[in-house]
Structure 1
Amino acid sequence: MSESSSEFGILVGVDGSPEAHSAVRWAVQEAALRHRPITLMHVVAPVVVTWPIEAVVTSFYEWQEDNAKSVIEQSQETVAAATAGAPPPEVRVEVRHGGAVTEFADASAHADLMVVGSRGLGPVGGAVLGSVSRALLHHAKCPVVVTREGVVGKPHDTLPVLLGIDGSPASENATAFAFDEASRRGVELVVLHAWSDVAVFPILGMDWHQYEQQGHEVLGERLAGWQERYPDVAIRRRIVCDKPARWLIDESRQAQLVVVGSRGRGGISSMLLGSVSTAVAESALAPVAVVRG
């Protein structure tokens, strides 16, 4: 696949949290695979006050600027440590002032890929998926990878890339992304397709073998052409009967990256992020790439 010339390359959201440093480490690996620069981006939130306390506001603003500088410096140190003696990627820095979601979403239009931690330093530290990360899955203009501290694989990991396909045209971009990632990493691609989004088995009289064959036919249609384009990628197909999110989360234990589309075959086509994508991004045990259709 030809390389793009997006200004920011691999765009990483940093805020000093452990999850953000995990995102930086993953981005270093990806930058090496793609031969692209990394942009470390930190957003300084605006100060909102309702009464005149100029001295306090000024002091807090100065703290924000000092904190932004510290966050960037720490992130640069993480980049250096993650290269493990290899030539480091080109590192760019972007500090913006405004709403985090708006600024990151706008910047994503000029990036190949955005990488964010599962949660940051927001007020709800126990949230599975932080509000900014969740919002970017809806609004980013490029693929978004969500990482979690402690689950980023080692360089040259031999675990496969896992792709969820539901048979909808919206999963085509996710398929392209997954094949490209598996090819770059030199690993197997596991393609998982669920016949139904809800629990339907076992139901008396239903012939699972018939639906399994239909699942293979769906995969055959969706994978047509991709195997020829990426002859180096070995494919393993998984057909399951129901609850794709549960299966993808379970299979993520043995994957180095999970790839899903932003929405699938659900009945509300205007929804930017489907329930399966949301559940997988929140709970998978590997980094998750959500690719817009």
Structure 2
Amino acid sequence: MKIMPLEQRGISTSRLILGCMPFGGGWNREPIEQQHILEAERAVDAALSIGISMFDHADIYTMGKAEETFGHLLKARPSLRDQVVIQSKCGIRVAKGQVPGRYDFSKAYILESVNGILQRLGTEYLDILLLHRPDPLMDPNEVAEALGKLKSSGKVRYFGVSNMNSSQVRFLQSALPEAIAVNQLEMSLSKLDFVDQTVHVNQAEGNSVHFGEGLLEHAQLQRIQLQAWGPLAQGAFSGRSLEGESERVVQTAALVTRLAEAKNTTPEAIVLGWLMRHPAMIQPVLGSSNPKRIIACRDAERVSVNLTRDEWYSLYVSSRGHALP
């Protein structure tokens, strides 16, 4: 059985991740209410019940309240910290006054962001820190200074990126003494660029694909863990209303349902298992805080092992809406 890239680096983690973006209520500065803490607790317990031990955050999620809410859980259950892997992200700055929303990989901002993340979570360290979106003004040497300080102080154990192509990863890596451990990207049965990039080499149709040439191959060669945000495609194939959807989506949802019934599992497990079947060992980040939907993902790893090549291609071709060349 293949070993996940994070495990190869000594990070004991689960095959699925729970994304904590919904925690804490709305994207505003209103106080966290007790109901938000209870909702997060139920989601975390549902995740733990199916073997999920990794939790994904970002400093901007619900304006910092997602991390603060998770911090309430860690404070109430201190033993939980040693049982889980916590990942967060920084680098996106929201608009303020006349200054627009922007990206910031400056040394000062990275250090400031991590201090805020740790304070909100109520923990002394992050297992993994990701740089959230590419900053056009990034200086790899300046980033390296920031990450080196975070590493030496024990505040962050491993580092990664999100939404970067392979050239950007290599450029950043050139200044870092430690290997980049993670790249988190949008990938799902409805976001197919990561597969289309592979099959459209030397084809005009490939001109409309914008995933990043060589990204999957580079990650596998360098043992970078690929994580998928939005892996359930916002429920398009697992129960969301399909009114007004294209025939392609309707037919693919029906195929997912048939496979789920044949394999005695859930549509969620089929959708995730299709993604996890890829040899890059993609690690999906679940975006739901609904306990029932989280538990519905329980069989995803089993499905990924048992999904046949023909079934995988049937789902892919159905979702893309036309035959392969």
TM class by smaller structure = under 0.3
If each structure's helix is expressed as a fraction of its own residues, which one has the higher value? Answer: 2
If each structure's strand is expressed as a fraction of its own residues, which one has the higher value? Answer: 1
